[in-house]
Structure 1
Amino acid sequence: MHMIKKKALLFILLLSSLVLFAACTSSTQEAVKGKKDQPEIQDISTQDLQSKIGQKDWVIVDTRLNDAFNGWALDGVARGGRIKGAVDFSANWLKVEIENREEKLQQILETKGITPEKNIVLYDANGKDAVEVADYLISKGMKHIYKYDVKEWAASKELPMESYENYHLLVPAVWVNDLIQTQNNGKPYRIFEVSWGEESQDYKKGHIPGAVHINTDEVEEPPLWNRKSPENLEKFALLNGITYDTTVVLYGSDSMAAFRVAAILKYMGVEDVRVLNGGFATWVNAGYDVETQANDKTSVDSFGATIPANPDYIIDLPQAKEILADANGSKLVDIRSWDEYTGKITGYDYIKAKGRPAGAVWGYAGSDPNHLEDFRNIDNTMRNGSEIINMWQEWGITPDQRLAFYCGTGWRAAEVLIYADVMGLKNISLYDGGWYEWSSDPANPVEIGEPKQK
């Protein structure tokens, strides 16, 4: 009796083992099959890549940090910038945690022509970025994917690369870290966290080592929140240890305030003004040290130049009217949301008037008055300049024109001014008073509603 039970138990165990083995074998086969079904990421030679540039069914994609695309030589690349004709889709964008991320990434792919029917060449310089983007594209059903090491392309001076004329105005975190480590080779430099208010909570939570807080009230004042007088701007510079030949690096948790101060410093005559591309998150994500101890301002005795040394960089109401009167070669460009431009809302709790200066053209901004999504990538770095130019062309705005950017009080427009400067546009300025100043005088002509024609 015991023997029968024992044989039955052995039979059950054997049967269970066979079932388990069959299940595992099936799972392994399915996994192998699934792997085989996945598109293979192929390598492409420099010669083949060169022959594909400009073909309608091929798209060349720079997957590196935005800074490398702009012009910085990073990760051992001999020449900075991008392969001529390439679009950008940074692997860094896949790591950003934002609302509706997948929807926004899909929109980005479509905007850049990265679609399933295309042959897609992904290039990087670290052997990682292209693979990360490739895996993402495969998950979206794309199959014809190639990868390439841009160091090979950059090593040959005969092969075309391009970068923004003034890419140096936007700096990567590694450049700021090197600046600190080398102490700017003995030359004067300052790093500032910029935001509104005497007490910056962001600064207290953590900041770049050695950084000092700048309150935007130090450079602008009520009632219109225009820049301060040259005399008061000089006092600001002296208090913060800024001379005309000081290298000044600006950043913030949101970069808009940093761009506002950057524009004013350039107007004053500071020759080397930089903004950390992507803001403080760029520094943190790069893994560099953060300190919480506050640093005191260090003053200097002389700015070393007459302020403003670059007076045309920021203009006032009379010049804005001159630009509006020149219908052929000039544009007053509105950097506010469409609802603000058409007079549906004001966008500010302290600005009651709605509308725009008569004759101003819309230059995009985004739906949120506190953001600039039309000009930023999803990691808050500068958007592809070609895409910016294409947006503007819909409204007759071209790089060869005299362009003055304005918003409500100068913050959003200052950021766009710097981006235009990065791209190398020449005849550009910030209309400082913006809609707040224009609407304060009933004699200034105003338009409301959609324009009759673009």
Structure 2
Amino acid sequence: MILKKSTKLLGILLTLSLSVTVLAACGSKQEVKEDGKAKTITAKELKDKIGKSDWVVVDTRENDAFNGWTLDGVKRGGHIKGATDFSAAWLKADNKDKDKRLDDALKTKGISAEKNVVLYDANGKDAKEVGDYLSKKGYKNIYTYDVKEWAKDESMPMEAYTNYQMLVPASWVKDLVDGKKPETYKGKEYKIFEVSWGDETKSPDYLKEGHIKGAVHINTDEVEEGPLWNRISDDRLQKFAESSGITTDTTVVLYGADSMPSFRVAAILKYMGVKDVRVLNGGTAKWKNAGYELEKTSNKKTAVASFGATVPANKGYIVDLPQAKEIIADKQGSKLVDIRSWDEHIGKTSGYDYIKPKGRPAGSVWGHAGTDNSNLDDYRNVDNTMRNQDEIIAMWKEWGITPEQRLSFFCGTGWRAAEVLTYADVMGLKNISLYDGGWNEWSGNTGNPANPIETGEPKKQQ
């Protein structure tokens, strides 16, 4: 009898001890439930924690959902206001620097083991995957949440990028191909293009690996030419559009193994006057990772009689040398933003074997890029999707670049800068453009005294 009473008393004491431990860790009013290694949290509790220094709220879904798309049955698109992002898809990315970049992302986003970390998703999988990853790194205070509950309540604040529709998820393209009417699509004629340099036999995607059903190949030589690699003349651009079956009202979807050429063509099409230009966020890898089929047939272009407008119908979207000089001369409200590597910006290298001069246009400011002219790691997540808007703006702020200024982006020959221009457009910036000629034109390739050049490390502008 005494043994039975002692055992019962021990059980009561253990239960009380566990309760005290949970309350101490989570606050006396917080109700948590064990869910594997993580705990669940209610919407009310989550709302109270947002913005507190010892809590961080993390969206673990595909970045398309974070940007604004209504995926996985969520009623409203976008992310919980105040949340950052760390997608489960990043853990599967094919990137040789993945581990380092993931560690850097955790640091930049303030996701640390010392904080309480709330991971949310809508499919019951993403948060668990990220939670397991963090647990292996020693994180203890991990909570999970289903964002569908939050999205149902219109009083709960959510944010989406102003023009999120410009970057599309693979599922959106799949719905389009299958004859459905996906979100934001107005049901007009569409065209899908795989974009890369060279003809379709040289494309790493088009015939070798296969392409999205119905996609037609675009060789970047069709819209730009050397030696400056500026866009071709307006008359020739109009003929390119008509021969490709593109009008001002065509929904154009662009993608490729490397997305940079797609953004180059996207910027030119917008300059021409195409109203609905989309790029597959993350490129071909996202289509393959979703398990969607590829075809290897050669699809030919179907011409149209008229583009529907005189090119350029959106002239200010791309500017040339005279406008670039005007932007530099405006010391207050404008910035000519250099989207090249730091070594290119300070004149350590030109970045190109066919460009001899080194340096930057005098008066331009550094806007970040990547380690060399082949990547844009500072603007991309590890899976090559668009980086968090807040982090992009924070990068710019270090160099005196602000969203309300007139911003014109340039690089060596327009590819990297076109991608950043699109991201700025997605973010809703208004007074933005691409300086098409970039360093190749400004430098004159042999040095042009009329275009002053600076080298060396600049001072950050406040």
The TM-score, its normalising length taken from structure 2, stands at 0.89
- Work out whether residues 347 and 369 of structure 1, in 8 Å CA contact, stay in contact via their aligned partners in 2: yes
Secondary structure at the aligned position of 2:206 is classed as helix
Secondary structure at the aligned position of 1:202 is classed as coil
Distance in 1 between residues matched to 2:290 and 2:459, nearest whole Å: 48
**Higher helix proportion:** 1
The amino acid that maps onto 1:204 is L
Secondary structure at the aligned position of 2:96 is classed as coil
1:404 correspondence with 2:408: yes
Distance in 1 between residues matched to 2:353 and 2:189, nearest whole Å: 40
Distance in 2 between residues matched to 1:103 and 1:374, nearest whole Å: 13
Alignment length (residue pairs): 418
- Work out whether residues 413 and 430 of structure 1, in 8 Å CA contact, stay in contact via their aligned partners in 2: yes
Identify the match of residue 280 of structure 2 among 257, 276, 286. Answer: 276
2:449 counterpart residue number: 442
2:47 counterpart residue number: 50
1:165 positional shift: 0.1
Could you list the per-position Cα deviations for residues 326-368 of structure 1 after superposition, in whole angstroms to 9, with x for gaps in the alignment? 0000000000000000000000011111000000000000112
1:186 positional shift: 5.7
Distance in 1 between residues matched to 2:149 and 2:42, nearest whole Å: 9
- Map residues 71-90 of structure 1 onto 2, 5 A cutoff: 71-90=68-87
Could you list the per-position Cα deviations for residues 351-406 of structure 1 after superposition, in whole angstroms to 9, with x for gaps in the alignment? 11100000000000011211100000000000001000000000000000000000
The amino acid that maps onto 1:347 is G
Distance in 2 between residues matched to 1:144 and 1:183, nearest whole Å: 42
Distance in 2 between residues matched to 1:395 and 1:452, nearest whole Å: 8
- Work out whether residues 39 and 138 of structure 1, in 8 Å CA contact, stay in contact via their aligned partners in 2: no
Distance in 1 between residues matched to 2:245 and 2:111, nearest whole Å: 47
- Map residues 287-436 of structure 1 onto 2, 5 A cutoff: 287-436=291-440
Distance in 2 between residues matched to 1:451 and 1:168, nearest whole Å: 36
1:95 correspondence with 2:92: yes
Identify the match of residue 264 of structure 1 among 257, 268, 276. Answer: 268
The amino acid that maps onto 1:312 is G
- Work out whether residues 153 and 159 of structure 1, in 8 Å CA contact, stay in contact via their aligned partners in 2: yes
Secondary structure at the aligned position of 1:77 is classed as coil
Distance in 2 between residues matched to 1:202 and 1:80, nearest whole Å: 31
Moved runs in structure 1, 4+ residues, more than 6 A? none
Q: Cα RMSD over matched residues?
A: 1.4
- Work out whether residues 226 and 432 of structure 1, in 8 Å CA contact, stay in contact via their aligned partners in 2: yes
Distance in 2 between residues matched to 1:356 and 1:374, nearest whole Å: 19
Distance in 2 between residues matched to 1:276 and 1:98, nearest whole Å: 18
Identify the match of residue 174 of structure 1 among 171, 179, 184. Answer: 171
The amino acid that maps onto 1:113 is G
- Work out whether residues 340 and 373 of structure 2, in 8 Å CA contact, stay in contact via their aligned partners in 1: yes
The TM-score, its normalising length taken from structure 1, stands at 0.90
79-88 or 93-102, larger mean C-alpha shift: 93-102
1:183 positional shift: 6.4
Distance in 1 between residues matched to 2:106 and 2:204, nearest whole Å: 36
1:191 counterpart residue number: 192
1:108 counterpart residue number: 105
1:210 correspondence with 2:205: no
1:204 positional shift: 1.0
Structure-2 change in CA distance of 1:248 and 1:329 (3 Å): same
Note the residue ranges of structure 1 that are not aligned, 5 or more in a row: 1-37
Q: Which has the larger radius of gyration?
A: 1
Secondary structure at the aligned position of 2:205 is classed as helix
- Work out whether residues 204 and 257 of structure 2, in 8 Å CA contact, stay in contact via their aligned partners in 1: no
Identify the match of residue 63 of structure 1 among 60, 64, 69. Answer: 60
1:269 positional shift: 0.3
221-230 or 391-400, larger mean C-alpha shift: 221-230
Distance in 2 between residues matched to 1:428 and 1:64, nearest whole Å: 30
Identity %: 69
183-192 or 97-106, larger mean C-alpha shift: 183-192
2:243 counterpart residue number: 239
Distance in 1 between residues matched to 2:73 and 2:458, nearest whole Å: 50
- Work out whether residues 400 and 460 of structure 2, in 8 Å CA contact, stay in contact via their aligned partners in 1: no
Distance in 2 between residues matched to 1:354 and 1:272, nearest whole Å: 37
Structure-2 change in CA distance of 1:429 and 1:52 (3 Å): same
1:442 positional shift: 2.9
- Work out whether residues 39 and 144 of structure 1, in 8 Å CA contact, stay in contact via their aligned partners in 2: no
Distance in 1 between residues matched to 2:174 and 2:45, nearest whole Å: 38
